[in-house]
Amino acid sequence: MPLPDLIKRASSYFLGLEFDDNEELPDYVDNEILFCKNNVCVHPPTIARHELDIVHHPGYLTVTTKVFTDQHNKSKRPTLFLNWIPNSTLKKCPSAVESSPSDEIGCVIKPTHPQDIPTQKTVQQKKRKYTNNDNAFSDSSDTTSLNSNSDKQSIKSNDTRYTQNDTTQEELTSSSKPTIKSADSSKDDVFVSLDKEESKDQIFEFDRHVRSQSMTSVNITIANPNVENVDLTPDSLSGSFMRSLSMSSCDEGNPNWMSTPEFLALKHNLIFPDSVHSSPVPQRRQPLKCRRFSVDLSQMRSLRLFFNDDNCTCGQLVVASRESQYKILHFHHGGLDHLAQVLHRWHALLHNIKLTPGSEEPNLPYRHFMVCRPEVQKSEQHPEEGKVPKITPELFYGKVMNGKGVIEDDLYLRKCVFFGGLDRELRREVWPFLLHCYPYNSTYDEREIILQIRKREYDEITKRRLEKMTPEQHAIFWKTVQSVIEKDVVRTDRGNPFFAGENNYNVEIMKNILLNYAVYNPALGYTQGMSDLLAPVLCEIKCEAEAFWCFVGLMQRAIFVCTPTDNDMDNNLSYLRELIRIMLPHFYKHLEKHVDAMELLFCHRWILLCFKREFTEAVALRMWEACWANYQTDYFHLFLCLAIIAVYADDVIAQDLNTDEMLLHFSSLAMYMDGRLILRKARGLLYQFRQLIRIPCTLVGMCQRCGPGIWDSTHRPSVECTGAHDFCEYAVQ
Amino acid sequence: MDYDYLIKLLCVGDSGVGKTSFLYKYTDGVFHTQFISTVGIDFREKTVIYQQNARQHRIHLQLWDTAGQERFRSLTTAFYRDAMGFLLLFDLTNEASFLEVRNWIEQLKTHSLSDDPDIVLCGHKCDLQEKRLVNQNRAREFAKNYNLLYLETSAKTGQNIDRAIEILLDKIMYRMETSVEYAMLCASGRRRQSLQRLQAKQDRKLCSC
């Protein structure tokens, strides 16, 4: 079956649309490894501003079958487990094993750490009125032996085929301390293999070796008196996973469900960037260790596969737990297509919860689904996608700009920037044009003159600010503008080397520009967010006066929304609403269902900061340039919003997320979206929009700007009145 | 997450008083000197146990964080919608932020469902003693006039961070207990929405009597 069909089918399976397919489940053995792949990456939560900041933690991924025993009625059902072990663990494991006492090698994990077992004491501790998890992170700085224990465990339980004894949850709860029964007939072999693994340092080898092993039986039971309260209980039946859960459950005597989502996420390695919950912080705690994790896929709220190459082999697997915690696995080296096939083939194991006899209401009122979204289809792309070159120095100085420094065909330049992008080293040269600091048709000499004039003007503004204010004016200025700017500049892009460090003079320059802008344009003054827009411009342009005028261009021309007044934002949001209505009707229906969802709060920051906090800086600036190019529209940022929704909102619809949950969902995606895909999709959407035969009168305003307007000579859509306005020139009389 | 109550708390106060740091310290136990300004709305979440009359409640706290300087009407509306309690912060080392507290209280009264919203006033950054500009008695006096609880907090040392939220939670739970039929409150996570609406209604009723 060709992959696109497969993906479509898989997608509908997981969306629960196509259950009547009578394809029989293939035969399988419990704990059979259905899929394995090495060098699947996890990028731990850092605030990645640059591509280089992303830390890749390659690891080994398996999907195995496993019998899940229902804790309430002991009924059993098969399910799928997804396990991931970091390569670093595989490497360090042998020594951990060697240093362990022999009985531990026999897989009896002793309660060497008090937090391993819930004791009576911890139960009592729970009764404290408040129990907080303030030490969540201190815990994660953790005990190494504990780690090696669990690492070892995970290797055994995940990598080696093993059979699980039928220890039920009842046993788990009744036996009040961890006991690990092991029928480890081949432990020596395993460790031999680990030693080999160490010497060869190759996971392929390891995998092959493991496959040739006889089966190892590992069974961990850890009592957890709170287990019935735990949402994640079924997860905890996984050997290694359970350990981590019970660890978390017993820290400070907190029951599992008291842990913060962040805490649980950290424990399970299910953490999304901290931007989920707060603005990104430039400096983080110590880099998080990437730990192995194991999840019951049937317990997850969603599984999504995002393909990001043309062959549909590479991309991301996004696993979302019911708490909206995400785990993202990056397939940089192919294999995602194969995983799609495996999940397609075994989907039935993820859908049998309802069939569990005896339980009338499955305690899992959520859907599993999977959206396999390949690369933006060719048909969805702008026809010129990929055909327009990037602006490189050779192209720019060879073709775009002539000997006198004149850009004769600015449309060509803007088109190239829009489609192909701009070489980083040309930003200094090209941005002032895009930001209307200089006209395209000016010569080098003319620009020199313009710059002198602009510098003088800038000095005038500075003088006005410093010398010509009355004390009263100054007091007001200080209170409403200066004090806010002073607070903001010291927390803007400090992770960027250009602004880093104490007493960085560039921060002072940023402050001066913002203060001067507030003098230059007192109506706008200063609003939070402006410093975020200025910082990248200043960083590239460097010259204070020139950066100021570029910033003025950025703000004045409303190239994208930079004037954060209600009006501009409201206009943009109402255009966006209309675009959604026309182009993404399913999502529009979803919005209609939920109170206040039409306010599109989740788009607010996207528009305000032009996606700066949603993507890594390199990608965000690429988007800025595409917006600044004013190619075919002045509102490309809205098409970018539309593209994000088009690509990432299937989840929202399928899970029927309400207004607040949507806000959470989309802010969770910050820094994890594929910006290049979004750009391609947005260009495609713009193209589709321009092909429309009719547009509503509500969008006419959006199409009027940009020189001659958005339409080219060959096509002009008719305008239909939607009846939204009282007086509409397009209304049919 | 399964929980008995979903409680939405807002953290408000002037720009730069330390709202994000406060919440971050509370949920993650970490303090960072370098934050970036909040733009729009951020959430933080935490689940805690609350003991009330020998009953334990699992409370899912939704802590909303916003930009101190918020101009967008639509955001403000969403921010205040269904809010049940407020942490009002000012910076002890910044007198202007203290003077603004009065305005913030007006804001809260305008936007919240109740005329007498549950507010805990926090003098934040109390670790910076040498830079302190608002003395404790003055703040206490002010809080007394407005009938607010006052605490001095620090995200750096963690002083009173948990306590501020506990006290606020106490007030909210007390209000809920006294205003709503107890049995009706024991909603499962799935009914939390209706619970919240119910609570909102009850609050409105409260104000009208």
Q: What is the pLDDT of residues B30-76, one digit of tens each?
A: 888 777 888 888 888 888 888 877 788 888 888 998 876 666 666 77
Percent of chain A with pLDDT over 90: 28
Q: What is the pLDDT of residues A694-728, one digit of tens each?
A: 888 888 888 765 544 455 555 677 888 877 666 77
If contacts are CB pairs under 8 Å, which of residues 169-208 in chain B contact chain A? 190, 193
**Distance between CA A292 and CA A90 in Å, rounded?**
10
pLDDT value at residue A179: 36
- A323–B40 C-beta distance less than 8 A: no
- A569–B39 C-beta distance less than 8 A: no
Minimal Cβ distance to A277: which of B34, B43, B193: B43
pLDDT value at residue A334: 81
Chain A residue numbers with beta carbons less than 8 Å from the beta carbon of B43 are 276-277, 660, 663-664, 667
Q: How many beta carbons lie within 10 A of that of residue A400, not counting itself?
A: 19
Tell me the three state secondary structure of residue A662.
Answer: helix
Whole-angstrom CA distances from A323 to A145, A366, A399, B72 are 30, 11, 54, 29
Angle at B75 between CA A595 and CA A279, to 5 degrees: 115
Per-residue pLDDT band for A647 (boundaries 50, 70, 90) equals confident
Q: How far is the alpha carbon of B206 from chain A, nearest alpha carbon, in Å?
A: 24
- A261–B47 C-beta distance less than 8 A: yes
Q: How many beta carbons lie within 10 A of that of residue A461, not counting itself?
A: 20
Pick from A178, A216, A227: nearest CA to A194: A216
Q: Is B1 on the interface with A (CB under 8 A)?
A: yes
**What φ, ψ does residue A354 adopt, rounded to 5°?**
-60, -25
- A601–B51 C-beta distance less than 8 A: no
Q: Is B133 on the interface with A (CB under 8 A)?
A: no
A111 compared with A537, residue with greater pLDDT: A537
Determine contact, residues A557/A549, Cβ cutoff 8 Å: no
- pLDDT(A112) > 50: no
Pick from A346, A273, A439, A371: nearest CA to A15: A371
Q: How many beta carbons lie within 10 A of that of residue B114, not counting itself?
A: 18
Q: Find the range with the poorest average confidence among A356-365, A487-496, A657-666, B148-157.
A: A356-365
- A257–B58 C-beta distance less than 8 A: yes
Strands B85-91 and B149-152: unpaired
Q: How many beta carbons lie within 10 A of that of residue A215, not counting itself?
A: 16
Region for A80 from its dihedrals, namely left if φ exceeds 0, alpha if ψ lies in -120 to 50, beta otherwise: beta
Chain A residue numbers with beta carbons less than 8 Å from the beta carbon of B75 are 601, 604
**Distance between CA B170 and CA B168 in Å, rounded?**
5
Q: What is the pLDDT of residues A374-425, one digit of tens each?
A: 457 778 889 999 999 999 999 999 999 999 999 999 999 999 999 999 999 9
Cβ neighbours of residue A661 under 8 Å, at least 6 residues apart?
A: A324, A655
Per-residue pLDDT band for B136 (boundaries 50, 70, 90) equals very high
- A257–B38 C-beta distance less than 8 A: no
One DSSP character per residue, A574-627 reads: HHHHHHHHHH-HHHHHHHHHSTTGGG-GGGHHHHHTTTTTTS-HHHHHHHHHHH
**Distance between CA A91 and CA A652 in Å, rounded?**
40
pLDDT value at residue A437: 92
Minimal Cβ distance to A260: which of B20, B45, B68: B45
Average pLDDT over residues A553-560: 68
Task: Please name the residue of chain B whose CA is at the shortest distance from the CA of residue A613.
Answer: B39
- pLDDT(A215) > 60: no
Q: What is the largest CA-CA distance in chain A?
A: 90
pLDDT value at residue A712: 57
Tell me the three state secondary structure of residue A554.
Answer: helix
Per-residue pLDDT band for B157 (boundaries 50, 70, 90) equals very high
Helices (H), chain B: 19-28, 73-80, 95-99, 101-111, 136-145, 161-179, 182-185, 192-208
Minimal Cβ distance to B190: which of A365, A613, A667: A365
- B73–A278 C-beta distance less than 8 A: no
Q: How far is the alpha carbon of B115 from chain A, nearest alpha carbon, in Å?
A: 23
Tell me the three state secondary structure of residue A368.
Answer: coil
Strands B119-124 and B149-152: parallel
**What φ, ψ does residue A363 adopt, rounded to 5°?**
-80, 25
**Distance between CA A509 and CA A526 in Å, rounded?**
15
Minimal Cβ distance to A134: which of B29, B74, B75: B29
Overall size of chain A counted in residues: 733
- pLDDT(A28) > 90: no
- pLDDT(A191) > 50: no
pTM: 0.66
Interface residue of B23, B42, B91 to substitute, partner A, most A CBs within 10 Å:
B42
Q: Which two tokens stand for residue B45?
A: 């979440």
Q: Is A413 exposed, middle or buried (0-12, 13-18, 19+ CB in 10 A)?
A: buried
Average pLDDT over residues B85-94: 95
Whole-angstrom CA distances from A168 to A205, A218, A313, A460, B40 are 35, 14, 39, 80, 48
- B37–A487 C-beta distance less than 8 A: yes
- B47–A258 C-beta distance less than 8 A: yes
B168 compared with B67, residue with greater pLDDT: B168
**Distance between CA A243 and CA A150 in Å, rounded?**
7
The amino acid present at B124, given as its one-letter code, is: H
If contacts are CB pairs under 8 Å, which of residues 13-42 in chain B contact chain A? 15-16, 20, 23-24, 26-30, 32-42
- pLDDT(A366) > 90: no
pLDDT value at residue A415: 94
**Distance between CA A538 and CA B165 in Å, rounded?**
41
Torsion angle (degrees, nearest 10) of CA A339, A342, A346, A349: -30
Pick from A448, A608, A465: nearest CA to A525: A465
pLDDT value at residue A193: 36
Helices (H), A127-228: 136-140, 144-154, 169-174, 187-200, 203-212
- pLDDT(A579) > 50: yes
Query: Which residues in B159-192 are b (16+ Cβ under 10 Å) and which e?
Result: bbbbebbbbbbbbbbebbeebbeeeebebebeeb
